[in-house]
Structure 1
Amino acid sequence: MTFLLLIGAAGCNDNTADRLSISGNIPSLEELSGVWVSSDTVEMEPSIRNFRGQALLNRDMTSISWFVSAPYSGGYHTGTLRVNGKTPKATSWRWQPWQGLRRGSIDGMDILSSTRMLFDRDAVMWQVDITNSDTVPRNLNLELDLIGFISKYGGDWQWWYPYPKMTGQVTKRDEEVENIRDHLGEEVFAKEGEGWELVDGKPRLVKMIMRWPGDREILSSSKYSATAENDRVFIRDTETEAIISFAVVTAPDTLTSRNSGGTASWNCTLAPGETRTIKYLMSYGDDEEAVRDNVTAWSSDFDALFAGIKKSWDERWEMIFRPGNDFISGCFPVLETDDPLIRKVYYTSPLTMLYLTNTNLPEHDKVFLTGGPRWGASITFYWDITLWSTLWAAVDPVMMKEHLSSWFAIDPAKYYGKDNFGGKGVGNGYSANYWARFQLIRDYINVTGDYGYLDEIIEGKSVLEHLEDYALNWQKISIYGSEGATDDMYKLADFGDDEWNLLECVPTYKHIVPSFNIGYAWMMRETAKLYRQRGDQQKADTLDTLASDMIQRILKLYAGDGVWNSLYPGNKTIEVRHCLDFAFFGKYIPDDIPVEIKEEMITFLYDELITDHWMRAQSLKDIAAEHSDRADHGPFGAFDGWPVDIMDALTQMGYPEKALEFYRAVEPVTYEGIWAQAHELWGENKREKNALVRIPERDWCNRESSSGIAFAQVVLKNFFGFYPGTEGEVLRAPDNFEFDGKLYHVLYRDDYYTLEYEAGKPVMKKEKSGRR
């Protein structure tokens, strides 16, 4: 791979015509929205967000579950619509950034509902259209439950944030809420099934009789008290300060209150083709007067506010691609391409970033959440966000530095991320943490040129000293010299006997594994460059020697057939056929892989992992495959960050055309909406190359997740070669490759550049629009 830096003086003029020409490459939010999908084949319902809160739509026509907007958190659901005593179910739905849409029908009535969160405000809004599709008039009795089962919780939040149930505050994710969601409108309140329980400290599925409350019981909960006043219901939580209100904009014939909400009803006759529209909203807070004022104002201006939600999303979407905008300190690069597949995959990434942005968490003005709903209402994982660290440094370097600096107070040996509500570390000590945090800092300083950051003292050490500690942490966890670990190979890092610190669901991937040992070797090489830059040749040489010795040991873990072994104490090796080792070899030490091994790795990748439109994280031939079936890391799907890692690895290994081919192939995965925690391979052909792909509901997967933002970094880093290094290089030209397109507004060291290919090589041209 060739290293070069070509910065031309020519650039794009800073005038309206040029700006409009560049912005014309940006697809509309309508174009990037999900398509209508059938509820009998697609598993995960749409979500809604508004930079403050999040929730999942349910399979009826109105209710939402897993509502949360810290410090407010909702239990169960918000209430269903009944038509002549029956609860219609959605037959299809569509995700759009500003709304979730549901379609259904019942007894000759077609129903279309839109659910939206008021933009950057504490409210959810509904509009439900009920149309008589019959040839005769129909008499309708409409009943709408309004359930405000919301509480306010302070303190420290975990990935498993708190929410209210009949028994009060809980954090445990069991099947109760999910069973209610599955049986809305049905007189079913118990079943035999499998639920998650902690067994020997680890989550396991166990058989049990599962029970859950019905809506009447939920509405009668003594935890709340409610009153109905002038087409409004006010609900007061007796255990916390939460105040919830529903305003029924379409005046009901009757409105009654129960403890945790109420019921609105209408009686009407619809002529053939006639539509009746029901509009209402829910708000929440801890000041009853403010809640009353809000619901009064918002209900009186419902139509304008409801329509304005899309306009506000459109404006913020356009803003993030504009240098000098008021939302992010850089801007998201604008891709120009005639390839519709590449265009869709690329622009799904900035939409994912925007959708996962929260602006109401006290630790920072702006947070990129890792995922949700159902989880993580305030959480950032290091692993997920480091997958697009180069891109983050160009998109919002000011935010990035602020977050990086705050993380030094959190021990990477104990926590995998930060709670941006309470401010503390969360989760357990992922083995990935040291590499992830190192890479984030490395990319920040190299993209911004802020090398002075290395000398800043944070938590008692300079940033450079922290980086060296991260790079050498393997020495603390090596078990060399202990019983059963006297061979030279045991000088490698041993990540322990708990697979939950690595891939969680793959029981054989533990102790000494190639991936994060490679991460340590790479960190030492990168730290050596920093010391060499400062004139400390002796320290640099020492680190380089340690890295080279480590890589030679790692290569001895080769199992043949393109895959690698885990090494346990007592010289026990177990073959693991997983994508993670492939990714780390390719991304970080491609030039150290012997040619014959590299060729066998490529064969393994395409024979056992890559499918027509996605991939398997783990081979079906892996000895632990039947015990590793989770959609993100097992044999029937992949974490959305794995294809990104594979594309990066392919490019570094000298196969950029294969990376581009894979990039184009995943475009159908975007039909449901933005990037998720994982996409699963399903259907009768799930073991074959032509397996169907969808967002999984199983395994408590996130509907949306941040790792997929890295699909845009693939274009920036791999196809245009933008990967600034410590030694002054900015562009790495992929060998024998040329990308047809341009990338505008790439921020590098306070100036914006356009990236394009000339004479078969990528070049950077400074834009006249100037500095950040």
Structure 2
Amino acid sequence: MRKSIVILIILSILVSCEIKQPEETNPEDFIPDLETLSGEWVSVDTVDMEPSLRNFRAQALVNKDMTSLSWLASAPYAGGYHTGTMKVNGKTPIVTHFRWQPYQALRRSVSETMEVNSSTRMLVDENIILWEVKIRNKTSKPREYHVQTNHIGFISKYPNQEWQWWYPYPTLEGQTTKRDDVIENMRDYIGTDKTSIEKMVEELIDGRPTQTVKKVLWPSEKEVLQSTKYSTEVLNNQLIISDSETEAVSGYTVVTTPDNLILNHSGGTSNWTFSLDENETKTIRFAMAWGDNINHIKENLKKAEVDFEKSWSDVQTHWENRWKEIFKPNNSILSGAFPILESDDVKANKVYYTGPLTMLYLMNTNLPQHSKVFLTGGPRWGASITFFWDITEWSTLWAVVDPDMMKDHLTSWISIDPSQYFGQDNFNGDGVGNGYSANYWALFQMIRAYLTVSGDTDFLTQKIDGKTVLQHLEHYATHWQRISIYKEGMDDRYRLADFGDDEWNLLECVPTYKHIVPSFNAGYVWMMRETAAFHEQAGNAERAIELRAEAESMIQRLLKLYAGNGVWYSLYPDGSKIEVRHCLDFMFLGRYLANDIPSNMKEEMVAFVYRELITDHWMRAQSMEDVAAKDSDRPDHGPLGAFDGWPAGTMDALVQLGYPEKALDFYHTIEPVTHEGIWAQAHEIWGDNQWKKNGKVRIAKRGWHNRESSSGIAMSQVMLKNFFGFYPMVDGSPFNPSKDRSFNGKLHHVKYKGKYYTLDATAYKMVMKEEEKFNQ
């Protein structure tokens, strides 16, 4: 018997030796490649906003022809009108399909007899653009082709001007910052002979888009080429274009040798004549460079000409390398890392990873105020701007990803008056824009995120402009007292923040959302509570008690603004109350006062959001039932779409209110919007069913929206903060207490207080494991 047992033991040992232990997974295997995250081919009749190009320095939008770019900006350089179109046999091929990829913009024009494909790339970190155009004969017989391409260098340099949200650019009449639809009309009617039309136009008047009906005019491409503001010469087969008003110089090299090159003032025209057999393709390549040093431009153009293939492929390689790098602990780009999501949830993965790609795409490493910035938008607006409101939407994630950068920015931003400016121009360092009501909350939230995630409590005592950071926090948290209209003898409900009569300080296009609104008053309650916690941490117990008492008192006044049925009132100085059916109140009350709102009120708020705001694949910022809905039609804040930060804020509020499963379901349902590209300023609900739940969704252009914007990165923060629960408290706890988990997966390389961790929720419980090998 004993002998049999021994034999069995030996056999079991031998068998166990044969069984291979599972290999440790490499988190990098879970990062999708750029091809997976690129936009799909989209038909031009379903697209409102054309793809953009960026390269960590410059940015531009492609147009509906096969070659031209508009809104080219690379501070201090800006381009006017466009860079020139291509004609084939006397006609401009018009795009039928677009595709956006982070390293290139693709255009396709398909007709019965011909297919034209073009790709445009910017060399990484350089003021150089490359074009490759392929023309294919689709007929069964040989065909003759005459191709004519304009190369326009309508570029000026503005080193001493203000780079506001509406940055300067050149026109036939000289420099302007005005957005009056001239360039947009040129873009809309490109490839036609039209230079005027009667239409409803938007002009930027006093900083606001204003609509009027008028006959609008714009110059023809020929007029732009003939502008005497510029002069062109040919030097060593390169077109060199000089600006007479500024130091700007631009140039082209035509890599595919043309039959002839005709000079004009702001550029020139290349001509080719050739024959193509059935299915044969002709490839045409050219490059553009700009700057203020003619010799440097000539060198760049020569390099592009001699080694076009390598320059072309290097663009994609550089993007792919930077993409992989941002996920690595101790990498060369960030002081932290973007956490790697390990999950079998395909839809959640796509939504999550669209965030880091948006962040990387909006990264600019060539502006003088900071070594690295995340731009808020572009290319039509804000080519050098960071908005406080947009970037605070993902402040916890930013503190994880790049705490050193965040501290550098915050140190600078604290010196900017939030009552006057909504952000910073990263070119000249000044505050820009107007004093948004969100600014105090936005700055406070970012500072709090940095402090709690980094553990850098010494920052609280650092003096900036004569006050400690803690004093600045208290100044932000109590700002409501300075703008309240309450005076002794008035109804106590007026002892709240009154944001004034100008709706443009709040939601801009919603005329009723002004004066005493619930959202940012809830923000002030939260800010006072958090400031109290910081005071308590610093040993200032008495001040902490005072702030908490003020917050508790404010909550009671705020809850009186509840209108019932899930919505809230705005309170006006004359005593009138206006019911506002908007997502902003839901988000702020849900995120910051979830434990103060009665259960029945929570249920009604969630019911309102699902009844009137959330659609099949996106959401409405404002309910169609709102009294001001017909006067608020803008895709970001009105009833036909939403700012890309709003779905993330809504999910955050759902989780705080106790509905994590609903938040995850919403996370899944928005995945189709990522098929067009990365996060934008807003997505609009459009098509025949735009007023129904199943309306189509696309990146919005109307209302002067930007192609991409940073607020949508908050979708990735939802994963970190809400589905994994990582939301460090002032008291040192890394997790938001008492929140149910609804997600199954891991987040690798989460940097917290200087060390990297893996958050493991594979058993629907949260386990935080130190990644010791990265913390040496």
Shorter-normalised TM range: over 0.9
Task: Specify the alignment match of 2:599 in structure 1.
Answer: 595
Pairing 1:410–2:416 present: yes
The whole-number CA distance in structure 1 between the counterparts of 2:113 and 2:23 is: 53
* Cα distance change of structure 1 residues 36 and 412 upon mapping to structure 2, 3 Å threshold: same
Answer whether contact 1:235 1:261 (CA < 8 A) is retained.
yes
- Paired residue secondary structure (1:278): strand
1:420, distance to aligned residue in structure 2 (A): 0.3
- The separation in 2 between residues aligned to 1:612 and 1:66, in whole angstroms, is 34
Q: Equivalent of 2:457, from 429, 444, 451?
A: 451
* Distance in 2, Cα, partners of 1:593 & 1:50: 47
Query: 1:114, 1:301 → 2: CA distance?
Result: 17
Amino acid at match of 1:282: M
Q: Which whole-Å CA distance do the structure 2 matches of 1:736 and 1:501 have between them?
A: 36
Task: Decide which of 311, 319, 325 is 1:313's aligned counterpart.
Answer: 319
Please show how residues 327-346 of structure 1 align to structure 2 within 5 Å.
327-346=333-352
Q: Which moved more, 1:633-642 or 1:299-308?
A: 299-308
Partner of 1:326: 332
Give the equivalent residue in structure 1 for 2:224: 218
What amino acid is the match of 1:486? Answer: M
Contact map agreement 2:147 2:271 (CA 8 A) in 1: yes
Counterpart of 2:695 (choices 691, 694, 702) is: 691
Which secondary structure state, in structure 1, belongs to the residue aligned with residue 30 of structure 2?
coil
Aligned counterpart, 1:104: 109
- The answer to whether the 8 Å contact 1:146/1:261 transfers is yes
Residue 13 of structure 1 corresponds to none
CA offsets per residue over residues 472-502 of structure 1, 9 Å max, x none? 11111001129xx921111100000000000
**1:67 pairs with 59, 72, 93, which one?**
72
Q: 2:175 aligns with which of 169, 172, 185?
A: 169
Tell whether the 8 Å contact from 2:51 to 2:99 is kept in structure 1 after alignment: yes
Aligned-residue Cα RMSD (Å) equals 1.4
Q: Which runs of 5+ in 2 are unaligned?
A: 1-21
Match of 2:545 among 536, 541, 544: 541
User: Structure 2: which amino acid aligns with 1:337?
Assistant: S
Show the counterpart of 1:268: 274
2:148 paired residue among 139, 143, 151: 143
Question: What code does the residue aligned with 1:389 have?
Answer: S
Kindly indicate whether residue 25 of structure 2 is the aligned counterpart of residue 51 of structure 1: no
1:671 is aligned to 2:675:
yes
CA separation of 1:136/1:448 partners in 2, compared to 1, >3 Å: closer, same or farther?
A: same
| Structure with larger RCO (C-alpha < 8 A, sep 6+) | 1
Kept in 2: contact 1:654–1:734 (CA 8 A): no
Aligned match of 2:756 in 749, 752, 759? 752
- Contact (CA 8 Å) 1:515, 1:581: kept in 2 or not? yes
Range with bigger deviation, 185-194 or 732-741: 732-741
Deviation of 1:199 after TM superposition, in Å, equals 6.1
Alignment counterpart, residue 21 of structure 1, candidates 26, 30, 35: 26
The one-letter code of the counterpart of 2:299 is D
Counterpart for residue 208 of structure 1: 214
The 5 A counterparts of 1:219-618 are: 219-481=225-487, 486-618=490-622
Match of 1:125 among 127, 130, 138: 130
Paired-residue identity, % = 58
Aligned partner letter, 2:342: E
The aligned amino acid for 1:368 is: F
Q: Does 695-704 or 222-231 show the bigger shift? A: 222-231
Secondary structure of residue in 1 paired with 2:761:
strand
The aligned residue for residue 3 of structure 1 is: none
Q: Runs of 5+ in structure 1 lacking a partner?
A: 1-16
Does the Cα contact within 8 Å between 1:127 and 1:279 map onto a contact in 2?
yes
Q: What is the alpha-carbon distance in structure 2 between the residues aligned to residue 96 and residue 119 of structure 1?
A: 14
Displacement after TM superposition at 1:227 (Å): 1.1
**CA separation in 2, counterparts of 1:666 and 1:18?**
35
SS of residue in 1 equivalent to 2:527: helix
Per-residue deviation at 1:30?
Answer: 0.4
- How many angstroms apart in 1 are the aligned matches of 2:353 and 2:762? 24
Distance 1:67 1:545, change over 3 A: same
Which AA in structure 2 matches 1:618?
A: Q
Q: Distance in 2 between matches of 1:94 and 1:142?
A: 24
> What is the letter of the counterpart of residue 670 of structure 2?
V
2-side partners of 1:89 and 1:201: how far apart? 33
1:90 paired residue number: 95
Alignment check: 8 A CA contact 1:731 1:762 kept: no
User: CA distance change for structure 1 residues 307 and 338 in 2, over 3 Å: closer, same or farther?
Assistant: same
Match of 2:645 among 614, 629, 641: 641
1:654 positional shift: 0.5
Would the alpha carbon gap of residues 160 and 728 (structure 1) be closer, same or farther in structure 2, given more than 3 Å must change?
Answer: same
Q: Distance in 2 between matches of 1:200 and 1:240?
A: 27
C-alpha distance in 2, partners of 1:763/1:715? 15
The letter for the 1-side match of 2:651 is M
Do 1:752 and 1:769's aligned partners in 2 also have CA atoms closer than 8 Å? no
Shift of 1:739: 1.6
Letter in 2 for 1:86: K
**Segment drifting more, 118-127 vs 759-768:** 759-768
Asked if structure 2 preserves the Cα contact closer than 8 Å seen for 1:228 and 1:255, the reply is no
Q: How far 1:18 moved relative to its partner?
A: 8.0
Q: Within 2, Cα distance between the matches of 1:378 and 1:19?
A: 43
Relative to 1, partners in 2 of residues 1:213 and 1:749: Cα closer, same or farther, differing over 3 Å?
same
Q: Structure 1 residues 244, 712: CA separation in 2 closer, same or farther (over 3 Å shift)?
A: same
Contact residue 120 and residue 131 of structure 2 kept, 8 A: yes
Q: Highest Rg: 1 or 2?
A: 2
Equivalent in the alignment of 1:9: none
Does 310-319 or 104-113 show the bigger shift? Answer: 104-113
Paired letter, 1:271: D
Q: Which amino acid aligns with 1:175?
A: D
Kept in 2, the 8 Å contact 1:743–1:756? The answer is yes
Count of matched residue pairs:
754
Structure 1 residue 620, shift from structure 2 partner: 0.2
- Does the CA contact (< 8 Å) of 1:733 and 1:762 recur in 2? no
**Contact 2:202-2:209 within 8 A present in 1 as well:** yes
3-state DSSP of counterpart to 2:48:
coil
**Which moves more between the two structures, 194-203 or 62-71?**
194-203
Closer, same or farther in 2 for the Cα pair 1:457/1:567, shift >3 Å? Answer: same
Closer/same/farther in 2, CA of residues 59 and 201 from structure 1, 3 Å limit? closer
Cα displacement string for residues 75-101 of structure 1 (whole angstroms, at most 9, x for unaligned residues): 000000000110000100100000000
Q: CA deviation at 1:297?
A: 1.5
2:658 and 2:738 map into 1 onto residues whose CA distance is 7
The question of whether the paired residues in 2 share the 8 Å contact of 1:353 and 1:709 is answered with: yes
> What is the CA distance between 1:769 and its match in structure 2?
2.1
Residue 565 of structure 1 aligns with an amino acid whose one-letter code is Y
Residues 1:734 and 1:402: Cα distance change in structure 2 (over 3 Å): same
2-side partners of 1:71 and 1:18: how far apart?
A: 52
2: CA distance, partners of 1:89 / 1:189 = 17
Change (3 A) 1:73 1:181: same
- CA drift at 1:19: 8.7
Q: Which residue in the other structure is 1:730 paired with?
A: 734
CA-CA distance at 1:109 after TM superposition: 1.6
Q: Secondary structure at the match of 2:369?
A: coil
SS at match of 1:56: strand
8 Å Cα contact 2:532-2:543 kept in structure 1: yes
